[in-house]
A and B are shown apart, each in its own frame.
Chain A
Amino acid sequence: MAEVSYQPSALRPAQGVGGSIGDFIALMKPRVMSLVVFTALVGMVLAPQQPHPALAVIALVCIAVGAGASGALNMWYDADIDACMQRTAGRPIPRGHVTPDEALTFGTVLAIGSVATLGLTVNWVAAVLLAFTIAFYVLVYTMWLKRRTPQNIVIGGAAGAFPPMIGWAAATGSVGIESIVLFGIIFMWTPPHFWALALYRARDYERAGVPMLPVVAGADETRKQIVIYSALLVPLGLWPAFMGLAGGLYVLVSIALGAVFLAFALAVYRTREGREADYAARRLFAFSILYLFGLFATLLVEHGINRFID
Chain B
Amino acid sequence: MADDERQEWERRRRMRSIAIALALAALVVVFYVATLVRLGGNVLNRPL
User: CB-CB < 8 A to A21: which residues of B?
Assistant: 15-16, 19
Interface membership of B21, Cβ < 8 A: no
DSSP class of B's interface residues: helix, strand, loop or mixed? helix
Size category of the A interface is 10 to 19
For window 44-71 of A, CB contacts with B under 8 Å fall at 52, 54-55, 58, 61
Interface membership of A149, Cβ < 8 A: no
Q: How far is the CB of A22 from chain B (nearest CB, A)?
A: 10
In the bound complex, do residue A20 and residue B12 qualify as a contact, i.e. CB atoms below 8 Å apart? Answer: yes
In the bound complex, do residue B31 and residue A121 qualify as a contact, i.e. CB atoms below 8 Å apart? Answer: yes
B interface size (C-beta, 8 A): 15
- What are the 9 closest A-B residue pairs judged by CB atoms, nearest first? A121-B34, A17-B8, A17-B9, A52-B37, A18-B12, A54-B37, A54-B33, A20-B12, A21-B15
Interface membership of A244, Cβ < 8 A: no
In the bound complex, do residue B30 and residue A16 qualify as a contact, i.e. CB atoms below 8 Å apart? Answer: no
Cross-chain contact of B9 among A18, A52, A58 (Cβ < 8 A): A18
User: CB-CB < 8 A to A19: which residues of B?
Assistant: 12, 16
- Interface residues, chain A, CB within 8 Å of chain B? 16-21, 24, 52, 54-55, 58, 61, 113, 117, 120-122
User: CB-CB < 8 A to B34: which residues of A?
Assistant: 54-55, 58, 120-122
Residue of B nearest to A23 (CB): B12
User: CB-CB < 8 A to B27: which residues of A?
Assistant: 113, 117
Q: How far is the CB of B31 from chain A (nearest CB, A)?
A: 7
Q: A19-B12, A19-B16, A21-B19 are in contact. Are A120 and B31 (CB under 8 A)?
A: yes
For window 16-47 of B, CB contacts with A under 8 Å fall at 16, 19, 27, 30-31, 33-34, 37-38
Most A CB contacts (10 A, CB to CB) among B5, B13, B16, B27 go to B16
Given the complex of chains A and B, what is the CA–CA distance between A55 and B8 in angstroms?
A: 39
User: CB-CB < 8 A to A61: which residues of B?
Assistant: 30
User: CB-CB < 8 A to A52: which residues of B?
Assistant: 37
User: CB-CB < 8 A to A122: which residues of B?
Assistant: 34
In the bound complex, do residue A17 and residue B31 qualify as a contact, i.e. CB atoms below 8 Å apart? Answer: no
Residue of A nearest to B4 (CB): A17
